[in-house]
Amino acid sequence: MPGRLNIVLLSLAGMVLAQGSVDFARGQGPSELVRGQGPSELVRGSSSQADRRVPVAAPRPPALDAEVIRHEPAKGLLAFKAGNQAGLAVGDLFWVVSDSEVRGWGTVFLVTAGESVGRLVGPIAGVTESDRVVVARADGWGAWRDRLPEGVTLRGRLERLPPGRHTAWLDLGQRVGMRVGDRLLVRRNNIPLARGVVTLLQDDCALAALQPVVGNALSEAGDSVELWPAPAERALGRVNSTVLDVQPDRLGRLITLVGAVEDGLMPGRLVDLYRDGGYVGVAEVVEVSDPLSVAQMIESASAQVPEVGDRAVMRSGSEPPLRPLLAAVFKVDSEDYCLVAAGEGDGIRVGEVLRVRRSSPEDPARLQDVAELTVQTVKVDHCGADVRMLSDTRLMVWDFAERVTPPWSRWLPLGVVRHIEEAGRWALADVDPRTPLSRGDVVRWEGTFAAGHPVGPERPYPGASVVMHVMKDQILLFVPHGWGDTRQLARARVEVRVTPR
C-alpha cells in the first residue's frame, strides 16, 4: 500500500531548513529512501506533522536499542529499525555502539511508524552487523526528576523579564519535569536574589512569579535558577539555604536565612553551616517568616564565625521515619567519650550507634571507618557518646558522625569522565568492569576535595547523568537538560548509589 512520509530537514545546529512530505511505494521505508535519494530530493510541499509522536506512558526507559538497516557514509545518514510507534521523533539523539566503544552519534531527522533516519555528526567507519543503535528520546525525562540524587537539582537560566522584574521566563519546562506551583530560587554568583513559583508551563520554558529576598539587586536575564528545595532534599525533609546576614547576640550570633515555612524551614530545627567545603557550625531556627527566617548559632558546637554566603543545610528533624543524619563531633573529652551536635531534635536516642568515616589518605574519594559512637546521654541539641576506635587514627574535633541504622544507601566512587560531547550533552567515563551497572542507573558527578576531609553534605555535586550504555570498561552517560552544565564534567569523578542488601 502506498503512503506518505512527512519530513523535517535540520541543520547540525538544529535549525529547521525545510519541511515537506514524500510518497513511497508499498514496502519502501526510510532505508530505501536513504539508498535512493539525498535529503534535498526528499522535500516536496509542506507539512506540520513531521514531528508527530505516538504517546507513550511515563515513566519509560531512558533509551531503546535499534537494529541498523543501512549506513550511507557519503551522505552521513544512518537508517535504523525504530520509529514513532516506539516514541521516537525528529531531534532525538542516537549513538552507534558496540560492546567496547561508541563509534558515532547524531540526531534523528526523519521518522516513520517503524523506521527512522539519523544524520551522523562526523564520519564513522563502516557499520557492521554487530553494531547497534541506542536512541535517547527527548520526551519522558519529566518523570525522572524525582530520581535526581542528593545534592543535585534542576538548574537553568532566566531568559526574559519585564521592566518590573516581578515575573520571568526560564529555560526549564514540562519536558524536564517542572510543574505549576514548583518553588524556585534565583542566584547570581551563588547568592540568592529572589524566590519564585511557577505559574505557567510550556514544553521547554516556564513563567515564574518572583519575590526579591535582597534589597540591593534585582533579578535579570542570565541569572541562574533552580528547583528549590531539591527533590531529594525535600523527600528527606531537608532544606538547602544560604546565609544573607549575620548579627551579634549575647546568646549566639543571629543569622538570616532564605526561606519560610512553605519552603520547609521549621522552628526548632538544627541547621549546619559550611563555607568552601569546610564546616562552619550549627544553628537553631528561632524565627520563621516570609521570605526570610532567623537561626541562632550554637557557639559551643561551631568551628568558625558565620559569614554572608555560607551554605546552610536544615536537618530532617525527629519525625518518623528516621532519616539519614550527619552531625559534627564538637568536643572530645577523652579517648573514649565525645560530644556530638545532634540531640532530641534530630531523633537521637540513648543506645543509638553512630559511625565516623573519613576520606582515605590514599584515595580521597573512598571513605574508611574511623570510630563507632554509642549514645549515652541526649540533650535538646547535642548528645554524649562512648567512643570505640575502628582504626589506628584518633577521633578528632569536627569529624562527622552519621546514623547507620537502618542501613542507608551509599554513594561510592565509580570512575572518571574522560570524554565529553557538549553539543550532544553526553560523555564517556572509565569504570571498573567489576562494578554492576545497567541502563537507567543515575550517577552524579563529584567535585574535588582534599584528602582527610570529613564527609558531609558540603561536598559539591554540580550535576547528574543517566547511564545509557554499558561497555567492558566504560559507560555512556547522557545529561538531560537541566541536570547540570556539561562543561563541569571534565575529568569529574562519578559516583553511583549502592543500596545495602
Q: What is the CA radius of gyration of the chain?
A: 26
Q: Which residues of the chain have pLDDT under 70?
A: 1-60, 364-365, 447-460, 501
State pLDDT tens for residues 253-265.
999 999 999 898 9
pLDDT for the residue 129: 72
pLDDT for the residue 43: 30
CATH topology of domain 410-498: Thrombin, subunit H (2.40.10)
Kindly report the CATH number that applies to the domain delimited by 326-403.
2.40.37.20
Q: CA–CA separation, 373 vs 367, rounded Å? A: 17
pLDDT for the residue 411: 84
pLDDT for the residue 361: 77
Contact 116, 78 (CB under 8 A): no
3-class SS shares of the chain: helix, strand, coil, % to 5: 10, 45, 45
Q: CA–CA separation, 116 vs 365, rounded Å? A: 43
| Residue ranges of domains in the chain | 3-138, 143-232, 241-310, 326-403, 410-498
Reported CATH class of domain 241-310 = mainly beta
Q: What is the grid cell recorded at 168?
A: 520571568
Kindly report the CATH number that applies to the domain delimited by 3-138.
2.40.10.340
Q: Which of 309, 293, 295 is nearest to 249 (CA)?
A: 295
Chain length of the chain? 501
Burial 207-235 (b: 16+ CB within 10 A, else e): bbebebbeeeebbeeebbbbbbbbbbbbe
pLDDT for the residue 59: 59
CATH topology of domain 143-232: Thrombin, subunit H (2.40.10)
pLDDT for the residue 39: 35
Specify the pTM: 0.82
Contact 48, 90 (CB under 8 A): no
**Three-state DSSP class for residue 381:** coil
Query: pLDDT exceeding 90 applies to what percent of the chain?
Result: 62
C-alpha distances in Å from residue 368, one per residue of 195, 378, 407, 412:
39, 27, 16, 12
pLDDT for the residue 205: 97
Q: CA–CA separation, 426 vs 8, rounded Å? A: 24
Q: CA–CA separation, 236 vs 229, rounded Å? A: 11
- To the nearest 10°, report the CA torsion of 454, 460, 464, 467: -40
Question: Read out DSSP for 2-61?
Answer: -EEEEEEEE-TTS-EEEEEEEEE-TT--HHHHHHH--HHHH--S--S-TT------SS--
Say yes or no: do domains 3-138 and 143-232 share a fold. yes
How many CB atoms are closer than 10 A to CB 324? 17
Contact 58, 142 (CB under 8 A): yes
